[in-house]
Amino acid sequence: MRIAIYAGSFDPMTRGHEDLMVRSLEFVDRLIVGVATNSSKQPLFSIDERVEMIRMAMGDQPRIAVKSFGGLLVDFARQEGAHLLIRGLRAVSDFEYEYQMALMNRHLSTKLETVFMVPSLDTTYISASLVREIARFGGDVTSLVHPVVASALRAKLPPK
Amino acid sequence: MRIAIYAGSFDPMTRGHEDLMVRSLEFVDRLIVGVATNSSKQPLFSIDERVEMIRMAMGDQPRIAVKSFGGLLVDFARQEGAHLLIRGLRAVSDFEYEYQMALMNRHLSTKLETVFMVPSLDTTYISASLVREIARFGGDVTSLVHPVVASALRAKLPPK
Amino acid sequence: MRIAIYAGSFDPMTRGHEDLMVRSLEFVDRLIVGVATNSSKQPLFSIDERVEMIRMAMGDQPRIAVKSFGGLLVDFARQEGAHLLIRGLRAVSDFEYEYQMALMNRHLSTKLETVFMVPSLDTTYISASLVREIARFGGDVTSLVHPVVASALRAKLPPK
Amino acid sequence: MRIAIYAGSFDPMTRGHEDLMVRSLEFVDRLIVGVATNSSKQPLFSIDERVEMIRMAMGDQPRIAVKSFGGLLVDFARQEGAHLLIRGLRAVSDFEYEYQMALMNRHLSTKLETVFMVPSLDTTYISASLVREIARFGGDVTSLVHPVVASALRAKLPPK
Amino acid sequence: MRIAIYAGSFDPMTRGHEDLMVRSLEFVDRLIVGVATNSSKQPLFSIDERVEMIRMAMGDQPRIAVKSFGGLLVDFARQEGAHLLIRGLRAVSDFEYEYQMALMNRHLSTKLETVFMVPSLDTTYISASLVREIARFGGDVTSLVHPVVASALRAKLPPK
Amino acid sequence: MRIAIYAGSFDPMTRGHEDLMVRSLEFVDRLIVGVATNSSKQPLFSIDERVEMIRMAMGDQPRIAVKSFGGLLVDFARQEGAHLLIRGLRAVSDFEYEYQMALMNRHLSTKLETVFMVPSLDTTYISASLVREIARFGGDVTSLVHPVVASALRAKLPPK
């Protein structure tokens, strides 16, 4: 069974993240969405909120599991029996960082392969940080995130 | 069964190409190496020579098939029953062209997903055009290509 | 009156080119589409065919004029009384070349300003060279170019 | 009347910012310089100081207005009746972020077009953050910023 | 005598840094490693610890001196009689920032030339920030840093 | 004695090339300008013309020698006793190709180090191909190339 990991901070999950999760099911048997706890930045949503939102939004996908993790990604992958890391690529600046990480992860665990995917064109310009900024100023995020996330954003950042 | 296509001109196949072929077997069941005939450039090796070299070099991999193709890659994929395209990414300039192609191929055939892989670090600087140039001037290519290819290069470009 | 030039080889004009022409009318009074004759490459369509296709496709835009030009772009701009060059930016590799050209054109004619625009998202992956390649192998280009261009492509590159 | 917005944090305004403001007057009737209040970073100059410095430096340009704004740029543009955003492009990394923002702003307000300009060559290497760093260590900034800004920097960061 | 400066925060020095130091001795007579004190970020190692580690690791290189410095790099260079800055280039994003800095430093001191070098391939993916992160989570850094640094990391970040 | 090679096709030499040659003398004892004969493209100037123009233009620099070479650059360097390659970097796209070449040349000859320099800002936008194009259409190249080259261009490409 091919198990892959799609890791990130998902603060919050966007339509771009969802798109990649579903696409990856085309060639993996099981996808583990790994929500990273150890970000140095102060997140908008707690780790539990982020895990819960993804679970609710992706609930109809039996082959997707959502878990939080701390520590190194290579250790999480080993623990989950995953040999594949899925990453999204939208821009050159993404690419450079991702390329360095792919080489470092391969150095740390030779069994771990990274594959990159291109998100759907209409999610290209969506990032979690832009979504947070738009929500903070009362902009409309309904086409950028899942309804579950849109509700959570409204509750967390009520219009003034 | 997950069938993937790894297309290129392979004029000639390098250690970087080989590396990617073997890595992709980690998550595909069958890899079809598609050698493109319709390049506008005058190749060093004929289409038959290129197909034959890859077959000889990869002969111990029963899950890899080598075929030539003309026309659009999406048509070749459809014909072979493949839903996945494998591409190597080494540099930002690779990325931009590959990104455009991935979006165009998805436009032409929504069923066709492109995944990108990072070649082994020690093949990063190898390209078929550099290999041809080095061989042409009598440089040593033995660590850059398979022995089968090195022999073919010596036969095609004898030292003056 | 603000006159701008949008120059290129338009071999053939794509939906991306059209999109930029119409968008530029938002801030220029008159747009001169300059079809370059002096390309070193052998074009698919003659200069007259290219000019004619753009005229037919953009016929309902009275503020757009289509002209062919040889020689330096700065000379063409001077002759047309234009102080603005319009360019499309899709990718980093576009940007670098365009940036060098903008600086050189400013050096050659200090009165000439270059402004860059972002094409519509759904035309991002369209280029004239990809359109030619798809048409050549009998692929469907109807959503990539204007009907006038699609007909011309079918006439020029009949299915075998 | 064509109204455009040139937004930023201008902490402080550099010669590169000035250059772009003046250049943009070539094709816009009125330029509104929007000084953003909602930056998360602690600025060196207060919002009022930044607005005042630009007003003093650009005082001889009757078609330039300087205003502070909070919230989303698209809302500020709507309120000011502007349909054009002016942005400077110096480097590939600028380009990627700006490209994403241009697409997002178009998504949020289809009437809002972004145009990019290339600053004068001799301002290419100037950024507000480098200016602050040089001033902080007593370096000479007189050729990097307007005399009004140079005085303000000396007052804010006196030599130790 | 050709004196060059290789400046950075070295928090901590990696195998990539070491590689560049040794390579530069090929064309400089004396290399001054300048450890920057004025970083805004909270470093893992104190300035004295960083200087000391580099001195211990590079102790067998009589032509390398290690010094801390505050203030502008151009002032440090002037004070040390250096006319050359050595920088490592690994990625496009490195390049853009470095390019801007090289132009700014030349503006601040016309006598100061910047030369860029390519680190050894097997250190390409190593960065000080990745080393800190791996050490923090108990990963193995022995092939990424000098034994002196590896010991210091174990002492500073003991396994939990 | 530190001998370096600055190789290229120099068809023709531009002010950017000159700038780099002079700058490199700051840290090399002797610079050998290597004019490549084996370009596949049809040059505007013959190899002898190109060598002669550089010799005339750089005649007052006793530490610069100009030679033509065929074959691999690493072989030319070995033959000249050079351990350093000098390359100019202007843009990200330059960087990627140069980076690959630097790694390949180090693979072919471990003794050969590549160092990159940044040309003077006012030569950033000059390339030999743009110079040829401007001269071909009767544009003014006097500030882009040495007077010796400007004369040669006028003789080779007389105004029609």
**CA dist., res. D61 & res. E106, Å (int):** 33
Quick check: D102 and C118 CB within 8 A?
yes
Residues of E in contact with B121 (CB under 8 A): 121-122, 124-125
| B93: contact with C, CB 8 A cutoff | yes
Which of C21-25, C89-93, E8-12, E18-22 has the weakest average pLDDT?
C89-93
Give the model's confidence band at A93: pLDDT under 50 very low, under 70 low, under 90 confident, else very high: low
Mean pLDDT for all residues in chain B: 92
Task: Please report whether residue E26 resides in a domain.
Answer: yes
**Chain F residue with minimal CA distance to C40?**
F133
Q: Sort strands C113-117 and C30-36 into parallel, antiparallel or unpaired.
A: unpaired
Long-range contacts of B44-51 (CB under 8 A, 24+ apart): B44/B11, B44/B12, B44/B132, B44/B156, B44/B157, B45/B11, B45/B12, B45/B152, B45/B156, B49/B152, B50/B9, B50/B10, B50/B11, B50/B12, B50/B13
**CA dist., res. A143 & res. A126, Å (int):** 10
Q: What pLDDT does A92 receive?
A: 63
**Chain C residue with minimal CA distance to A124?**
C121
Mean pLDDT for all residues in chain C: 92
In the chain, the amino acid numbered C76 is F
Residues of B in contact with F71 (CB under 8 A): 137-138
**Helices (H), ranges, D25-158:** 47-57, 73-80, 92-108, 128-136, 147-156
Q: What pLDDT does F98 receive?
A: 83
Burial F47-79 (b: 16+ CB within 10 A, else e): bebbbbbbeebbeeeeebbbbbbebbbbbbbee
**Chain D residue with minimal CA distance to F122?**
D121
pLDDT at residue C89 greater than cutoff 80: yes
Q: Are E1 and F26 in contact (CB under 8 A)?
A: no
pLDDT, tens digit only, all 160 positions of chain F: 899 999 999 999 999 999 999 999 989 999 999 999 976 678 999 999 999 999 999 999 999 999 999 999 999 999 999 999 999 987 666 777 788 888 899 999 988 999 999 889 889 889 999 999 999 999 999 999 999 999 999 999 987 6
**Chain A residue with minimal CA distance to C93?**
A92
Q: What percent of chain B clears pLDDT 90, i.e. is strictly above it?
A: 78
Residues of A in contact with E138 (CB under 8 A): 71-72
Residue A146, burial from CB neighbour count under 10 angstroms (0-12, 13-18, 19+): buried
Which of B20-34, D134-148, F31-45, F74-88 has the weakest average pLDDT?
F31-45
pLDDT at residue A24 greater than cutoff 90: yes
Quick check: B117 and A114 CB within 8 A?
yes
Give the model's confidence band at A19: pLDDT under 50 very low, under 70 low, under 90 confident, else very high: very high
Q: Which of D52, D63, D65, D61 is nearest to D12 (CA)?
A: D52
Task: Please report whether residue E111 resides in a domain.
Answer: yes
Which of A57-61, D12-16, D40-44, F124-128 has the weakest average pLDDT?
D40-44
Q: How far does the CA of residue E107 sit from the closest CA of chain D (Å)?
A: 9
Which of A102-106, C89-93, D17-21, F119-123 has the weakest average pLDDT?
C89-93
Residue C84: phi and psi, rounded to 5, are -135, 135
Quick check: B26 and A84 CB within 8 A?
yes
Interface ipTM: 0.90
Domain that holds residue B58: 3-124
Task: Please report whether residue E60 resides in a domain.
Answer: yes
Task: Please report whether residue A116 resides in a domain.
Answer: yes
Of residues D58 and A95, the one with the higher pLDDT is D58
Q: What pLDDT does C1 receive?
A: 84
Q: What pLDDT does D40 receive?
A: 62
Mean pLDDT of E36-63: 91
Give the model's confidence band at E111: pLDDT under 50 very low, under 70 low, under 90 confident, else very high: confident
Q: How far does the CA of residue B127 sit from the closest CA of chain E (Å)?
A: 16
pLDDT in tens, C58-83: 999 999 999 999 999 999 999 999 99
Task: Please report whether residue B134 resides in a domain.
Answer: no
Q: What pLDDT does B121 receive?
A: 86
Residues of A in contact with C92 (CB under 8 A): 92
| E89: contact with A, CB 8 A cutoff | no
Task: Please report whether residue F136 resides in a domain.
Answer: no
Mean pLDDT of B28-34: 97
| D115: contact with C, CB 8 A cutoff | yes
Quick check: D103 and A124 CB within 8 A?
yes
Task: Please report whether residue A80 resides in a domain.
Answer: yes
- Distances from the Cα of D138 to the Cαs of D122, D131, E45, in angstroms? 22, 11, 27
**Chain A residue with minimal CA distance to E142?**
A108
Mutate: best of B38, B104, B108, partner C, most C CBs <10 A: B104
Q: How many domains does chain D have?
A: 1
CB atoms within 10 A of CB E159: 7
Give the model's confidence band at B89: pLDDT under 50 very low, under 70 low, under 90 confident, else very high: confident
**Chain C residue with minimal CA distance to A122?**
C121
The CATH number of whichever domain residue B115 belongs to comes to 3.40.50.620
Q: What pLDDT does E83 receive?
A: 95
Quick check: D130 and E103 CB within 8 A?
no
Give the model's confidence band at B29: pLDDT under 50 very low, under 70 low, under 90 confident, else very high: very high
Residues in chain E: 160
Q: Are C4 and C30 in contact (CB under 8 A)?
A: yes
Residues of E in contact with D91 (CB under 8 A): 96, 99-100
Quick check: C125 and B108 CB within 8 A?
no
Of residues B117 and E158, the one with the higher pLDDT is B117
DSSP E strand boundaries for B9-139: 30-36, 64-69, 84-88, 113-117
Residue labelled with tokens 């691999």: F72
Mean pLDDT of B70-85: 95
Q: How many residue pairs from chains A and C have C-beta atoms closer than 8 A?
A: 9
Quick check: A122 and C121 CB within 8 A?
yes
Whether omega for the bond prior to residue A12 falls within 30 degrees of 0, making it cis, is yes
**D81 φψ region: left (φ > 0), alpha (ψ -120 to 50), beta (else):** left
Tokens for D39, please give them: 């930056």
Q: Which of E116, B52, C113 is nearest to F119 (CA)?
A: E116
**CA dist., res. F88 & res. F118, Å (int):** 6
Q: How many residue pairs from chains E and F have C-beta atoms closer than 8 A?
A: 59
Q: What pLDDT does C98 receive?
A: 82
Query: Considering only residues 20 to 59 of chain E, which have any Cβ-Cβ distance to chain D shorter than 8 Å?
Result: 38
| D154: contact with A, CB 8 A cutoff | no
CB atoms within 10 A of CB C111: 12
Task: Please report whether residue F134 resides in a domain.
Answer: no
Of residues E115 and D96, the one with the higher pLDDT is E115
Mean pLDDT for all residues in chain E: 92
Q: CB-CB: which of C26, C95, C121 is closest to D95?
A: C95
Which of D32-41, D62-71, F140-149 has the weakest average pLDDT?
D32-41
Query: Which residues are within 8 A (CB) of F58 and not within 5 positions of it... i.e. 6 or more apart?
Result: F18, F21, F33, F64, F66
Give the model's confidence band at B131: pLDDT under 50 very low, under 70 low, under 90 confident, else very high: very high
Q: What percent of chain D clears pLDDT 70, i.e. is strictly above it?
A: 95
Residues of C in contact with B92 (CB under 8 A): 92
